[in-house]
Amino acid sequence: MKKIVIAYLEWLKALNYEITNAKVGAGKVEDFLNYLQQREITETDQIKPIHIKNYFLELSQRISNKTGEVLSNNTIKTYKRELRRFSRYLLETSQGHLEIKSGLETANQSQAEKIIFSTKEIKKLYAACQEDELGIRDRAMLSVYYGCGLRRTEGVKLELKDVQFNRGMLHIKNGKNYKERYVPMASGVVSDLMEYILISRPKLANDKSGNSFFVSYRGDKLGAQAMSVRFRKLKEKAAIEKAATLHSLRHSIATHLLQSGMSLEQIAKFLGHSCLESTQIYTHLSSES
């Protein structure tokens, strides 16, 4: 796959693409090929339309390193344009072609098709957590995103002082549109977060950790991409093949709460929605699951 990227870059140069733009384009193609390689797809003739569809779904839920938010619609369009160009390269060099259809999901479309886990799959994710420091951190991560329904950036920005065990609450001060809220913690969540703070975090933390709640094995703040990698590994270990991300845990708890009888108003408050319309999507998801 790496040879293909190098050859593609040379092809772009031969067509007189500006060198910086050519490298950026080749980088997007490399990202796509790395995604495939992680799924044991190593030859271009193995690439199917479903692989491309799932790749764009993953892109639409990916966190930007620059903004800390999901990739914008315009950014996703640049990936689509580059893959169309890459398909042209494959065709002109007799290496096949890719079916890059204009109807592939954009960020807005994917948000309308929210992916949820079943309660059985949630149990499998928890069971996939090991008993070492990183496994204990994984369980705390699941409890923050599923048990408390946090947005991805809210979990990344969580600090030690935000976990208020005495009140059984998480203090979210960096929510969407900078809104502040308190999220109740169930007893299982309290137990998971307490175990992480008492057992796992002290072994991981160092001078670089600061007040960050989640820290990496190097001791620095655990970023969104690193969390996504850990979550993907949990999914693989749990043998769950859904193209779901950490944010799917938020959709899942909302759906499960609705199925258990909680009112839309209560769920809206729990999730930090500013209007009830944002919560009503879960009535549709609940009826389908």
Q: Which two tokens stand for residue 52?
A: 């491309």
Domain boundary among 62, 93, 112: 112
Number of domains making up the chain:
2
Domain boundary among 81, 112, 143: 112
The answer to whether the CB of 177 falls within 8 A of the CB of 274 is: yes
User: Could you tell me if 259 and 231 lie in one domain?
Assistant: yes
| Domain span including residue 98 | 2-112
* Res 33: pLDDT: 93
* Res 7: pLDDT: 93
User: Can you tell me which residue has the tokens 């007799």?
Assistant: 94
* Res 178: pLDDT: 61
Give tens-digit pLDDT for 262-273: 888 889 889 988
Give tens-digit pLDDT for 184-223: 999 999 999 999 999 999 999 999 999 999 999 999 999 8
* Res 239: pLDDT: 95
* Res 284: pLDDT: 55
Q: Which residues are catalytic?
A: 151, 176, 247, 250, 273, 282
* Res 197: pLDDT: 97
Domain boundary among 83, 112, 141: 112
User: Could you tell me if 140 and 267 lie in one domain?
Assistant: yes
Low-confidence residues of the chain: pLDDT under 70: 67-68, 101-113, 174-178, 277-278, 281-289
User: Could you tell me if 99 and 123 lie in one domain?
Assistant: no
CATH of the domain at 167: 1.10.443.10
CB atoms within 10 A of CB 219: 17
User: Could you tell me if 253 and 268 lie in one domain?
Assistant: yes
* Res 175: pLDDT: 59
